[in-house]
Amino acid sequence: MILLRNRLFNRIALLMGLLLFGGGGLALVQADSITVNARLVLGTGKEKQGSKKVSDSIRKRLAKVFKWMHYYQLTNKKLTIEDAKTKTSKLSKNASIKVTNQKNGKIAVSLFSGGKMLLQKTQTLREGHYMVLAGKSTGDSAWFIVLSK
């Protein structure tokens, strides 16, 4: 009787240990994913009626560096990327990005235009901060990819 109880106790303890360690590992995998908002933004000197303006914080960030007075959001994609994984997203007919989650909020981004890679950038992306990738400028306008967490 005591031997049977000890075996039962050992099995329950083993099962609890597996659940505890297995569940902890699952929570760790979920904690390492990152959600990134990728916005395709047009910067221009001309006001565009009916177009969606970017948020004030993005406008201020871009206006500090670039010459355009008006910034409009053309597309917005939300990407959830697991640890050490890569996702590709098409933001327009010509522009696409490839984003890799490198752990602890650090991401690597490749920007493509017309199928050709324009640039690569790696940065730690923190809440309330932006990663900005500049596209082609045509003189009276330019496009940007603005990433945020």
CB neighbours of residue 107 within 10 Å: 22
For residue range 68-97, list pLDDT tens digits in order.
999 999 999 999 999 999 999 999 999 999
Residue 89: helix, strand or coil by DSSP? strand
Q: Are residues 11 and 50 in the same domain?
A: no
pTM of the model: 0.77
Which of these ranges, 12-21, 50-59, 101-110, has the smallest mean pLDDT? 12-21
- Which residues on neighbouring strands pair with residue 130, listed in sequence order? 148
Q: Provide the pLDDT for residue 1.
A: 52
Note down the domain range covering 4.
Answer: 1-31
The alpha-carbon radius of gyration of the chain (Å, integer) is 23
Domain count for the chain: 2
Q: Where are the beta strands (DSSP E) in the chain?
A: 34-44, 70-81, 86-90, 95-101, 106-113, 116-124, 130-137, 141-148
Q: Are residues 113 and 142 in the same domain?
A: yes
